[in-house]
Chain A
Amino acid sequence: MKILIPFLYEFQSKFDGYDVQVLKRGTSYFNVTIERKADKAIISLRDVLQYTSPCNLDSYLKQWGAKFTKSIFPHGHFDSIESMRNCVNFPEKEAFFNTLKQAPVDDEQYEKAKKFYASQMMPNMSFWLEYYNSLDVEPLVEALSNSFAKFHDLFSIDPNMELSLPTVAFKAMFRLFDPSLPYCFTFDKQRSHLREQHRRSILGGLSSVYHRHIDLSGDYTGPINSRIAPNGDLFSHVVFLDFNRY
């Protein structure tokens, strides 16, 4: 979405009657909406990862019973769409080197992809891109439908109506709560020993470990946010406090 948003704002400025709203939360674009003002038609761009525990596409599709054919694309090999169109032959294996993971492409996967490219008689690599793109989106629709149907079956909740998993969980929790019971329950003084017994059995809870990139080397090579504090001064030291211990 970070790539799409500038174009959406351009779209809003060039076409009257459209309104783009971006809702950012933490380190992600939580919800991006495009509204056609004339009929209040709203399109909402969301991330599937807001409705599941952290995972990659492969495991998400497997988890929700969608068929996924993993394939490869040389993202770093082409510098323009023209070079992609001019590439008639399937690129060499080196072109598929993953620079982020610093890993070469799997031999079997490469050979399989190369054979498929030849068997389909694709005129150039832009057709491969179309195939590669469709491999992602079609199974994702199937997985998402299966996942949301399960939410509906088990909790009578439509996740399309919510923006993230915590809200879905919150609503599911209240739906599972017996409405005939009082909303809150605590032990009175006479039964305080039960409360203490309960608290004694608590061993720990959820915890989060955060990462913060701070560059104290002073050689100006790191990203700006790793070197300069919000007040404009250079970082001199880092203190990480665990508030559970205080």
Chain B
Amino acid sequence: MECTERVSEKEIGSKTTQQGVQNIVSMALASNLPNQKSTFFLRKSSDPRMAFEMVKDFVLHSFKLYELFIDYLPVEIKRAIKKLEYKLKSSKKKFWKGKTKEYQHLRFLRKFTTFPLYGFNSSKVYFFKYSNSLNMFSMT
């Protein structure tokens, strides 16, 4: 993800701290799924709605990749999930021996169906205020 930056304040507290405004302008997505090229999303205009449109396109494209990802998942895992889900839902008994174990297995198997998207240094939280389309940032 790339943003344009406008620094509003410099050197607050230390030399490596600055405050400003970040506006999202583009996103790129590459995958190691077979025959997939990287995809680039560019904001159409400065209109704040266009930033949302770009993120929406990114999310919907990610779900398309998810479909492909699931296609490559071994059928045994999908079958096991369905089987366990059916067993846990359809049982007339409220409690039975091994129910917790079966939930544990189901949770483990569902991890295989989660589609991970990785960013680099994307998780850091800096204190910020969010208003309209502007993101106040403070980066150290």
Closest to B54 in A: A7
Q: Which of B1-57 contact A (CB under 8 A)?
A: 1-7, 10, 12-19, 22-32, 38, 40, 42-46, 50-52, 55-56
Selected contact of B116 from candidates A10, A44, A132, A136, CB within 8 Å? A44
Question: Is the pair B59, A8 in contact by a Cβ cutoff of 8 Å?
Answer: yes
Interface of B is mostly: mixed
- Taking a contact as CB atoms closer than 8 A, the residue among A3, A126, A142, A144 that contacts B3 in the complex is A3
A100 at the interface (CB under 8 A from B): yes
Please tell me if the beta carbons of B18 and A100 are within 8 angstroms of each other in the complex.
yes
Indicate if A204 sits at the interface (CB-CB under 8 A).
Answer: no
Give min CB distance, B76 to chain A, whole Å.
16
Known pairs A3-B22, A75-B4, A145-B32; A47 contacts B117 (CB<8 A): no
Q: Which of B46, B55, B118 contacts A46 (CB 8 A)?
A: B118
Residue B126 at the chain A interface, CB threshold 8 Å: yes
Q: Is A57 an interface position by the 8 A CB rule?
A: yes
Report the minimal beta-carbon distance from B96 to chain A, rounded to whole angstroms. Answer: 24
Least CB distance from B43 to A in Å reads 5
A11 contacts the other chain (Cβ, under 8 Å)? yes
Task: How many A-B residue pairs have C-beta atoms within 8 angstroms? Tell me.
Answer: 190
A residues in contact with B24, CB < 8 Å: 3-4, 7
8 A Cβ contacts from A42-67 to B: 42-50, 56-57, 60
A196 within 8 A of B: no
Q: Which of B87-95, B97-105, B127-135 contacts the other chain?
A: B127-135
Which of these binds chain B: A29-37, A185-193, A237-245? A29-37
Min distance, Cβ B114 to any Cβ of chain A, angstroms: 5
A2-B125, A24-B125, A145-B32 known; A46 vs B117 contact (CB < 8 Å): yes
Of the residues A78, A100, A226, contact of B139 by C-beta under 8 Å:
A100
Cβ contacts under 8 Å, A10 to chain B: 52, 55
B7 and A99 contacting across the interface, CB-CB below 8 Å: yes
Residues of B whose CB lies within 8 Å of any CB of A are: 1-7, 10, 12-19, 22-32, 38, 40, 42-46, 50-52, 55-56, 59, 62-63, 66, 70, 110-128, 130, 135, 137-139
